[in-house]
């Protein structure tokens, strides 16, 4: 399905297809077919009725526009879908139409449909997350010894390595992937409870119908219907929110490192990516911008879903009705962020030379912390800190390096070894290598696979 122009920065083609009208309708019809077959297997409805329902349950043969208009009046998509299905079945087998939707309620159809759509969408997100992991792992290894400026509050700070930064992105994405997989695993549940969540119309055979229905749809069977208990779907939404935030952090780092004044990394370009409508020379961080747009959008959507959880008794008024567009937007926003950053990770250009130049441009002042610690043995910690603060005053530096500025501190004048040590970034990396190795090698816990 082509992406709608208004959503072109908020989804991907595969996810737009998952949440398209035909896909949503087919998920609801799949529920009805599986229900009819499960009930026919138990002798609750005739086999001929189940076959007729299946023959009439092809989404492309239904008028989705008419169903959307009817949904606005019905307050739930389940009602017009069931009415439309009954009408089609009646045209083929008048007696079979009475068995459409037997024992179910409209929320059973809608909730199970959204779960089926989540299952499809989760597979798409996981595949793109795997792309990011695959790209970042060798990046962290290749640049484990490439020293770059650390930056705190956007100002120069003691150095780290590009490998450590990439490993941080990798570990964050890996945690987000695992978190989402766990939430999806918990949330892929059948919804089937009938009018009040008791399956009363099916008598003592209700639980058995639910078992067969879940098996046919390849969903897990919950302990009981969950019509007004939205916590497991909320976990999926929140996991998407956290994941999108993590991708936004990666995107923010990359877009800042792409600034002309920094120039240490660059997104992949070409094929219309990152250009300007007026400035031919520009290569904008477009993929990062798309991920950041998603990271700006998803927190509000997540909060909206959490507010929709407060639902009344056995069927909510308004909260449940608000969920479909919220879930769809959250999943698609997360998906476009994942896909965008996968493209970035796979084609990111690194400039070690520019990193070295930026280190030199600080004139060694990023090692003032190290100098203060070394001088604290002679001056005391507070006095050493104050002495270095005075020595590195921009008005006094006048193009000097930190080692030269130390001449203003009598206790440092005679310590040639101290001054020499301040010219070597590699000598002040602490446990960067250890942390890079740990972040890169940690494995994510995968939930047991579903057949």
Residues 6+ apart with CB under 8 A from 35: 101, 102, 103, 104, 192, 209, 213
Q: Which residues pair with 156 in a beta bridge?
A: 151
Among residues 233, 223, 229, 227, the alpha carbon closest in space to that of 196 is found at 227
Q: Three-class SS string for 352-400?
A: HHHHHHHHHCCCCHHHHHHHHHHHHHHHCHHHHHHHHHHHCCHHHHCCC
| Residue 243 and residue 235 in contact, taking contact as beta carbons nearer than 8 Å | no
Q: Which residues pair with 361 in a beta bridge?
A: none
CA 333: distance to chain centroid?
A: 8
Of the candidates 315, 354, 400, 437, the residue annotated as catalytic is 315
- Scored b (16 or more CB within 10 A) or e, 425-440 reads beebbeebeebbbebb
Break the chain down into helix, strand, coil percent, rounded to 5: 65, 5, 30
Contacts 24+ apart (CB under 8 A), 203-206: 205/42, 205/44, 206/103
Cα(273)–Cα(282) distance, integer angstroms: 10
Of the candidates 276, 307, 441, 442, the residue annotated as catalytic is 276
Specify whether 276 is catalytic: yes
CA 252: distance to chain centroid?
A: 15
Cα(277)–Cα(287) distance, integer angstroms: 17
Residues 6+ apart with CB under 8 A from 279: none
Cα first-last separation, the chain: 28
Specify whether 315 is catalytic: yes
Cα(361)–Cα(287) distance, integer angstroms: 29
- Using CA atoms, how far residue 373 sits from 70, 386, 423, in Å, is 73, 12, 16
Residues 6+ apart with CB under 8 A from 38: 209, 212, 213, 216
Residue 73, SS3 per DSSP: helix
Residues 6+ apart with CB under 8 A from 46: 40, 95, 96, 99
Q: Which residues are catalytic?
A: 276, 315
């Amino acid at each position: 399905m082509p992406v709608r122009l208004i959503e072109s920065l908020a989804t991907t083609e595969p996810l737009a297809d998952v949440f398209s009208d035909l896909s949503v309708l087919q998920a609801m019809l799949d529920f009805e077919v599986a229900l009819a077959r499960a009930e026919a297997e138990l002798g609750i409805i005739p086999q001929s009725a189940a076959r007729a329902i299946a023959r009439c349950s092809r989404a492309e043969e239904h008028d989705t526009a008419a169903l959307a208009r009817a949904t606005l009046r019905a307050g739930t998509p389940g009602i017009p879908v069931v009415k439309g299905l009954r009408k089609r079945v009646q045209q083929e087998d008048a007696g079979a139409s009475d068995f459409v939707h037997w024992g179910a309620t409209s929320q059973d159809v809608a909730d199970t449909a959204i779960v089926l759509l989540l299952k499809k969408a989760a597979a798409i997100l996981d595949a793109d997350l795997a792309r990011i992991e695959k790209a970042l792992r060798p990046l962290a290894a290749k640049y484990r010894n490439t020293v770059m400026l650390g930056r705190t509050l956007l100002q120069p700070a003691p150095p780290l390595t590009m490998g450590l930064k990439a490993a941080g992105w990798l570990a964050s994405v890996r945690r987000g992937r695992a978190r989402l997989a766990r939430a999806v695993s918990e949330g892929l549940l059948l919804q089937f409870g009938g009018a009040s969540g008791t399956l009363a119309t099916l008598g003592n055979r209700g639980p058995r119908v639910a078992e067969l229905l879940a098996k046919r749809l390849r969903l897990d069977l919950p302990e009981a219907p969950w019509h007004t208990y939205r916590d497991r779907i909320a976990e999926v939404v929140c996991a998407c929110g956290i994941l999108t935030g993590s991708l936004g952090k990666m995107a923010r780092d990359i877009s800042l490192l792409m600034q002309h004044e920094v120039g240490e990394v660059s997104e992949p370009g070409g094929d219309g990516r990152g250009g300007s409508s007026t400035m031919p020379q520009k290569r904008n961080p477009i993929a990062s911008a798309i991920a950041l747009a998603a990271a700006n959008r998803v927190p509000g959507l997540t909060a909206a879903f959490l507010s929709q959880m407060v639902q009344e008794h056995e069927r909510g008024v308004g909260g449940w009705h608000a969920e479909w567009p919220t879930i769809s937007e959250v999943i698609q926003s997360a998906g476009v962020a994942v896909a965008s950053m996968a493209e970035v990770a796979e084609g990111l250009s690194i400039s070690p030379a520019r990193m070295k130049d930026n280190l030199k441009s600080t004139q060694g002042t990023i090692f003032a912390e190290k100098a203060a610690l070394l001088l604290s043995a002679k001056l005391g910690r507070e006095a050493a800190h104050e002495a270095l603060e005075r020595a590195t005053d921009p008005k006094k530096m006048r193009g000097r390096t930190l080692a030269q500025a130390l001449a203003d501190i009598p206790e440092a004048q005679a310590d040639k070894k101290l001054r020499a040590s301040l010219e070597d970034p590699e000598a002040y990396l602490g446990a960067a290598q250890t942390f890079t190795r740990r972040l890169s090698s940690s494995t994510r816990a995968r939930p047991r696979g579903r057949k």
